[in-house]
Structure 1
Amino acid sequence: MTSNSRWWQTDDELPPTWLDHLAAAYPEIEHDAQEWWRLTSPETMVGSRHHTVPRFYLERFAKNGQLWVRDRVTGDGRMSPTTKTGVIKDFYTFINIDGEKDGRLERILGVIEDGAKDLFDRMLSPFHSPRPLAPQESMHLGFFLAFQLQRTPQHRRMVELLGDFMAKTQHPHLHGIDQVRVVPEPNLHLEQMTKMVPRLSELFFDRPALLVTLDQPLFITCDEPVVLVTDGSSHIKHAASCFKTQKQRRKAARRPSRNRLRNADIVHVYPTRPTAGTAVEVALPLSPRTLLVLGPRGMAGPLTVSLNGAEAMTYANDVNARLIDQAYGWVAAHPDHPTFRSLEFPPPGPLVQACDGGTKFSQDLDKAPNPRRPELLGRSWQ
């Protein structure tokens, strides 16, 4: 099975990252990490309410701690405190090798958020002159963006959909397989997240940072606030086998040729959203007036850009449309945003798709997921 993502590769197939090289060069780093893991209680954060988008980040879009939040599917809106927006109990709690509920990942996320908060405070402060990111700041930002792409309910639901699809395609003749939903445990999502973050952070490190500032508070945010901007070409790279029908695949499978059999078995699975590896620019709204943009590595450019009037409105409309399109559960804005409550939301689409000749299992992926909510420690979260 092939894929545009690397979610389903084994450890042996994943090349070492900069973090692996760093740990190899300085063994004390791994020793310190193991000691922290050994000395830190797994029970501390178990049962707590976890923000899938950091509260410190949401506060910049709030008024007196309140956001106007709209449902991504229905468009219905309500006032919601930042303490309860994007919050799911035990979302990052996993079952460790001792069979215990373990909340230490939430503490790690807190450290990542602290580094990003310090950076955003510095960038948005009127008392600090704009300057390029220092290497440590770029590292903090890279980790924050990488985790934010991976830590969301949408990403867990994608893992669930792919797990369901793979289980069914491997056992297509099992009686009643098309009538059930195969749900991987949440551990799989969290394991994949921690493996992918160092690789994603590499893609964001050392990119030039630009702050775009509007003369009006027009930017919104959502539960998927990291915008990946491509060069306009499709991020989906189909193979020749993607265009084979089921009939052609069955015919190739019956023939003795090794190449024909291989082509009959290839299934291309890909996410509908652009991946970090295809992003020319990466954007994150930091406040209703400010957007952080990371440009291509090695490209020189301004540190700040100010937009006014109609130009600011046009730019904000483009960014906001991207955020609405990629949002999964909710979209949020400052309560006084001039147009947010009347913005139209397009129907949600599929998260992942597969080229397998058009089986029922791949056809099930060609629509918005239902249910939309992922599983939490073996039960649906409410």
Structure 2
Amino acid sequence: MTGHSRRQRDDEALRPTWIDELVAAHPEIDRDAQQWWKSTSPEQMVGSRHHTVPRSYLERFAQDGQLWVRDRVTGGSRLSPTTKTGVIKDFYTFINLDGEKDGRLELILGVIESGAKELFDRMLDPFRPPRPITPSESMHLAIFLAFQLQRTPQYRRMTELLGDFLAKTHNSDVPGIDQVRVVPEPNLHLEHMSKAAPRLSELFFDRPALIVTLDQPLFITCDEPVVLVTNGSSHVEHTAACFKTKNQRRKAARRPSRGRMRNADIVHIYPTRPPAGAAVEVALPLTPRTLLVLGPRGTIGPLAHSLAGAEAAAYAADVNNRLVEQAYGWVAAHPDHPTFRSLVFPPPGPLVRACDGGSKFSQDLDKAPSPRRPALLGRGWK
């Protein structure tokens, strides 16, 4: 990362979000939030099983509470109840400033899910004619999408990989450092998610919404259900240092020029999945027949669109392929989905890459994570 891009990132981090501006205009919001934290026990939801994809969302793809679920890596399949799909014990439990296990984030996520569910119910109600979403509905949807992108095992595993890479890079002279796995506490993931979600939600707010309806129940879903549709160009912006070999970096570091030394130390780290800011459109399958699409801000388009026959099948195949590609742990569909069992899953790839001249640490990043499952409160997956 260059100094210029670092300053841009710092300036962006300091810029007030819409939540900051809302609280500044209405101080009672902050007062009520503080009162809620004081009056709510941190023990609630500690030890419970947390859905990384809302159960209310999964129910729309289920039959009698059952989904057909396939493993993203092996392709193995099984029937799974929605009560047990995408569930991890204590996944959102964190250690608060008093050193206690705190489960209140799960309660907050429940409120966020309720706001989105109310909107989805309205949009899918056949007795209510389509209409543009209101600013309030857009806000609920934007927050839901922002959290859903970051609340998943894949995002936590990416956080772990970054922590492991940075710890090893800064301690590369420690004997045996390449033989250990450095695992940041889950608090790091949850803190970043809570702080980044308001800013991320700004990218989704006030976008026009379209409901695409198929004449067949063909859409599937997965543990990463938010689809970011880009313009096709690469989201990766390499620097000149990205193309330097390990020897070139060592040679530049030995030279007396301060500029050359700084240049030798540049390491470009980037996620393999495009960031939300690159999305021209954002899509979320709502049921086996319906897909919610958010278009570019400022555009005007239809509120609903129907597809049938071969056109519907081709459209669903494109969406489903994107979902399979970005899924991390599992993919799910209605038990009667006509083609789900025969879908071909491509091999999983890396989550993060680093341009550092080809060190062993960056080579370890440049492949599918192993293990795939993230840690939980300092211990393994439970």
TM superposition score category, shorter chain reference? over 0.9
What's the counterpart of residue 85 of structure 2? 85
- TM-superposition CA deviations, 1:17-39 (whole Å, max 9, x none): 11112212222211111111111
What's the counterpart of residue 197 of structure 1? 197
Tell me if structure 2 keeps the 8 A contact 1:42–1:101: yes
Q: Secondary structure at the match of 2:121?
A: helix
What's the counterpart of residue 177 of structure 2? 177
**Structure 2 unaligned regions, length at least 5:** none
CA distance in 2 between partners of 1:20 and 1:101 (Å):
27
CA distance in 2 between partners of 1:197 and 1:370 (Å):
27
What's the counterpart of residue 105 of structure 1? 105
Q: How much has 1:135 moved relative to structure 2?
A: 0.3
What's the counterpart of residue 207 of structure 2? 207
CA distance in 2 between partners of 1:136 and 1:294 (Å):
15
What's the counterpart of residue 157 of structure 2? 157
Q: Which amino acid aligns with 1:363?
A: Q
Q: Secondary structure at the match of 2:202?
A: helix
Give the structure-2-normalised TM-score: 0.97
Percent identity, aligned pairs only? 79
What's the counterpart of residue 272 of structure 2? 272
Tell me if structure 2 keeps the 8 A contact 1:2–1:269: no
Cα gap change, 1:314 to 1:325, in 2 (>3 Å): same
Q: How much has 1:10 moved relative to structure 2?
A: 7.2
5 Å-filtered alignment, 1:273-352, equals: 273-352=273-352
Report whether the alignment pairs 1:251 with 2:251: yes
5 Å-filtered alignment, 1:142-153, equals: 142-153=142-153
- TM-superposition CA deviations, 1:125-148 (whole Å, max 9, x none): 001110111000000000000000
CA distance in 2 between partners of 1:355 and 1:331 (Å):
31
What's the counterpart of residue 126 of structure 2? 126
C-alpha RMSD of the superposition: 1.5
What's the counterpart of residue 47 of structure 2? 47
Cα gap change, 1:11 to 1:298, in 2 (>3 Å): closer
Q: Secondary structure at the match of 2:43?
A: coil
Q: Secondary structure at the match of 2:139?
A: helix
CA distance in 2 between partners of 1:37 and 1:239 (Å):
45
Q: Which amino acid aligns with 1:35?
A: Q
Q: Secondary structure at the match of 2:119?
A: helix
Q: Which amino acid aligns with 1:63?
A: Q
CA distance in 2 between partners of 1:92 and 1:372 (Å):
18
Q: Which amino acid aligns with 1:134?
A: T
- TM-superposition CA deviations, 1:260-289 (whole Å, max 9, x none): 111111111100001101100000000000
What's the counterpart of residue 56 of structure 1? 56
CA distance in 1 between partners of 2:88 and 2:280 (Å):
32
CA distance in 2 between partners of 1:349 and 1:54 (Å):
26
CA distance in 1 between partners of 2:232 and 2:139 (Å):
27
Q: How much has 1:2 moved relative to structure 2?
A: 5.9
5 Å-filtered alignment, 1:234-245, equals: 234-245=234-245
What's the counterpart of residue 38 of structure 1? 38
Q: Which amino acid aligns with 2:244?
A: K
Q: Which amino acid aligns with 2:325?
A: D
CA distance in 1 between partners of 2:193 and 2:2 (Å):
20
- TM-superposition CA deviations, 1:65-123 (whole Å, max 9, x none): 00000000000000000000000000000000000000000000000000000000000
Q: Which amino acid aligns with 1:283?
A: A
What's the counterpart of residue 95 of structure 1? 95
CA distance in 1 between partners of 2:171 and 2:101 (Å):
31
What's the counterpart of residue 367 of structure 2? 367
Q: Secondary structure at the match of 1:380?
A: coil
Report whether the alignment pairs 1:219 with 2:214: no
- TM-superposition CA deviations, 1:152-205 (whole Å, max 9, x none): 000000000000000000011111000000000000000000011001100000
Cα gap change, 1:328 to 1:313, in 2 (>3 Å): same
Q: Secondary structure at the match of 1:212?
A: strand
Q: How much has 1:11 moved relative to structure 2?
A: 9.9
Of 9-18 and 365-374, the range deviating more from structure 2: 9-18
Runs of 4+ in 1 over 3 A off after TM superposition: 9-14
Q: Which amino acid aligns with 1:139?
A: M
CA distance in 2 between partners of 1:257 and 1:215 (Å):
66
Q: How much has 1:12 moved relative to structure 2?
A: 9.3
